[in-house]
Chain A
Amino acid sequence: MKPLVLPSYLDQDPAVKNRFDALKQRDIILDVKNLGKKFPSKNGEVTALKDINFVTHRREFVCVIGPSGCGKSTLIRILAGLESASSGEVLLDGKPVSGPGPDRGMVFQGYTLFPWLTVKKNVMFGLLNQGASVVHAESEAMQWIDLVGLERFADNYPDQLSGGMKQRVAIARALAAKPRILLMDEPFGALDAQTRAKMQAYLLEIWRNIDITILFITHDLDEAIYLADRILVLKANPGEVHELIEVSVPRPRNPEQFISPEFLATRKRLDELIHPPSEDDDDDKLNMIRFTQAGDDIEPNE
């Protein structure tokens, strides 16, 4: 079989190049400068993140990807203000941030809807914290619930919803607080493949229609390429920026693009970065001996 010839993942046709040039002209929303994080441990200090530098522009969709243990969750928690950085700083609209706040909305991997509140009251939570009146918060919340298509479930408790519906409410809840940037920590990681694909499409739809910048953590390469403008690839030990990839797959995205040359080229590059061919692959080999009778093969022998 002839090997598939892919373009370089760096090749961009002029339209795509224009798109990225325009993107980089936009306002910078989040500016991460020399961010570092060290944890104390029994064997001395462990560096979880080292010299992380990147920016996200207004209405940009950035995915963060990396092998497990590269500190991508730590990174997003620092950005959200749930953990503090050991060095460096995070600027939002040019102003340094410290501590959590409603200007950086967050959607967690686990389900973090308040179980004692109905869907509507969950979405109202952030609005009421900011001093909105109940009447105003309620009508505002209903618009967001409408946006994620759950108006029939406004008065249900989270326990009565499916996993995908819960995450849609979580997105609505985060957006209702009017954040500048939406931080998403593997939000679809716990969902089954079909629901997950649907949620990705929903998210792109929402992102396209409102003024929001998204930083999205995932370990799923296809998900990252399907969603992102740019992909921040981290490497482990210590967590550093490996490469920042501009995804040349044109928008609007659709699932057919999964087998387009640009998509596959980007995927191949991500694969190389995240699963580099290692010198001793022996650990990964099975020590298989034959348990079946000769002539009982399920694949043709070469």
Chain B
Amino acid sequence: MSNNKKSKKWLEPRVELPTAQYRLITLASFVLPILIWCLVSYVPFIWHPNVQITDPGGVGYFKEGMMLKREVFDTESAKMASESKALPHGIPANPIYLPAPDEVVRALYTSFTTEPQRRSEQWLHESLWHSITVVFTAFFLSSIIAVPLGIICGTYAAASRLTEPFVEFFRYLPAPAFGALAVAVLGIHDGPKIAIIFIGTFFQQVLIIANTTRKLDLSLLEAALTLGAKRLQLLFKVVIPGVLPELYRDQRILLGWAWTYLIVAELIGTSSGITWFITQQARYKNFDNVFAAIFIIGVIGLLSDIILSRLGKRLFPWDKSSNKA
């Protein structure tokens, strides 16, 4: 029984994994998708719906390096066979929009080491840095208003009634719908982009922070009252320190949302930043570069979240739930 128990830990509900298994499975969550990608890319009989011509043979319009559907290739070679002309040759290939892992890795490397080909182009890291500034500016502006407002709404019923019904309505309006308006008001550069991310984040943020604040154990406030705490002391000495760790976790999730608005926001006005890089590269069919850029966004998101989570443990040493994850 005890042996069994040890080996089948992962089948038991809500049982913590031993450290070694924990690490292994975390690693697998990244390795598995990459493995599937490799299989599809490198094993010729998996998928590969296209044929890349290596030798046109007798077909007039075939050219070396040309990419076409396998059915077309098959009919043409059957025709050649029946007319006893030279057969065309080709290798199975995936569509151009699915580059192989090695191509993406190479593109990633090149994008940081080689000067952009066209004069108007930016380096990848320049585009990225621009995007990061836009996201963080918008998130910062949203937070300095939404966090205090949310805490006040979660603490005082009157503030909650005055604010939340309207915010609740406004959060259903799709942020990108304000694109044209934002451009008209704020011009074509970073202004409207920051505005779109702000609109997309702000209203959710107010409601989430308000709800988190409301979840504070009421008995803590009652205890403070019996210890002589009054009005603003209750807010600053009980409510705010009490919700801080939860609020910090909310902010981490909301920062992720802000990133999801980035691409739409950057298409508004003159497109810029990482989106400009991606759309531009897609136009030239450099899909390896497109994938490279998308991955970098993912990596930045994940890294900043890990850093913030570590920082959280430092900031709130009393908070049990943050010390677990």
**Which A residues fall within an 8 A CB radius of B?**
80-82, 100-102, 104-106, 108, 110, 112, 114-117, 125-126, 129-130, 157-159, 173-174, 177, 183
Contacts and interface: CB of A to CB of B under 8 A. Distances in A.
Interface in B213-235: 217, 219-220, 222-230, 233
Contact of A80 (B220, B226, B230, B241): B226
Nearest to B227: A126
Nearest to A125: B227
27 contacts: A80-B222, A80-B226, A81-B226, A100-B226, A101-B226, A102-B226, A102-B227, A102-B228, A105-B227, A106-B222, A106-B226, A108-B219, A108-B222, A114-B220, A114-B224, A114-B238, A114-B241, A114-B242, A116-B242, A116-B316, A117-B318, A129-B227, A129-B229, A157-B317, A157-B318, A158-B318, A159-B318
B55 interface: no
Interface of B: 217, 219-220, 222-230, 233, 237-238, 241-242, 244, 316-320
B228 A112 contact: no
Contacts of B223: 106, 108, 112, 114
A158 B220 CA distance: 13
| A-side interface mostly | loop
Contacts of B230: 129
A302 B219 CA distance: 54
A116 B320 contact: no
Given A108-B219, A129-B233, A157-B317, A116 B226 contact: no
B226 A104 contact: yes
B227 A173 contact: yes
Q: Which of A110, A112, A157: most chain B Cβ within 10 A?
A: A112
A110 B225 CA distance: 16
Given A100-B225, A114-B241, A183-B226, 16 more contacts: A81-B225, A81-B226, A100-B222, A101-B228, A102-B227, A105-B227, A108-B222, A112-B217, A112-B219, A112-B222, A112-B223, A115-B242, A115-B318, A116-B316, A125-B237, A157-B317
Contacts of A183: 226
